[in-house]
A and B are shown apart, each in its own frame.
Chain A
Amino acid sequence: MEVLYFAWVRERIGLPRETVETEAKTVAELVAELRKREERYEAAFADLSALRVALDQELADFDAPLEGVREVAFFPPMTGG
């Protein structure tokens, strides 16, 4: 699946998007896999309360299932307007 990062999450991880091969069943499982990869992922995902997630461009929760999802995005709380 495609994993996208925005704002400081993108800066901390060091790339805007990547293709991830995963067996993760939920967003939380995917986050746990990513955190184990490298220090920069651990740093980006250290505090989940500071993060939001979207599945196929709709806001979702961290316990949401990933079945059928093609695009996951992680970002900080939004500051539009």
Chain B
Amino acid sequence: MDIRVQEQPFDFGAEANRFAAGHTEMGAVVTFTGIVRDVADGLQSMQIEHYPGMTEKALEQHAREALTRFKLGDVLIIHRYGVLAPGEMIMMVATAAPHRADAFQAAEYLMDYLKSRAPFWKKETTGDGAGWVAAKDEDEDALGRW
């Protein structure tokens, strides 16, 4: 299990390769990457705030829960904070499992929990000013399936 909360960018390819290389008994590796998406009125930057201490604890707790719920060999979570530009990678999740169903499901489970249970907040700055991104009902509803 590898959990990192950091300001600096990460090398997605290198991280995915390193994660996949360590697991000869795992037949499936699934990765997800979240990218800062441009918005209709032109996104200048996205600021991500987090709760140091609680963030790491919450991510670790959900990673441990994923390892219990699914037939999983390993989990990697990297999540950035600070000021990001459109197109930059915000975060990645990787899961390794003997078979693909568990790897896919665990990645979805982790993403659903990360969206609304890890203490991160996004603020978008456009030409019209800055505003906090509101949580979506559908993200909260997504937890219901687990």
Contact = CB atoms under 8 A, between A and B. Distances in A.
A81 B61 CA distance: 16
B119 A75 contact: yes
A4 B50 CA distance: 12
Interface string B98-141: 00000000000001001111111111000000001111000010
Contact of B135 (A6, A59, A73, A79): A79
Contact of A6 (B51, B115, B133): B51
Nearest to A7: B121
Contact of B79 (A59, A77, A80): A80
B42 interface: no
Given A6-B49, A6-B51, A7-B49, A80 B118 contact: yes
B80 to A, nearest CB: 11
Contacts, number: 67
B53 A57 contact: yes
Q: Give the interface SS of chain B, mostly helix, strand, loop or mixed.
A: mixed
B121 A76 contact: yes
Contacts of A80: 79, 91, 114-120
Contacts of A77: 116, 134-135, 140
A54 B79 CA distance: 20
Interface string A59-81: 10000000000000101111111
Contacts of B115: 78-81
A6 B91 CA distance: 20
B83 interface: no
A79 B51 contact: no
Q: Which of B51, B90, B133 has the most CB of A within 10 A?
A: B51
Interface of A: 4, 6-8, 54, 57-59, 73, 75-81
7 contacts: A4-B51, A6-B119, A7-B123, A54-B119, A75-B121, A78-B119, A80-B115
Given A73-B51, A77-B140, 8 more contacts: A6-B49, A76-B135, A77-B116, A78-B121, A78-B135, A80-B79, A81-B114, A81-B118
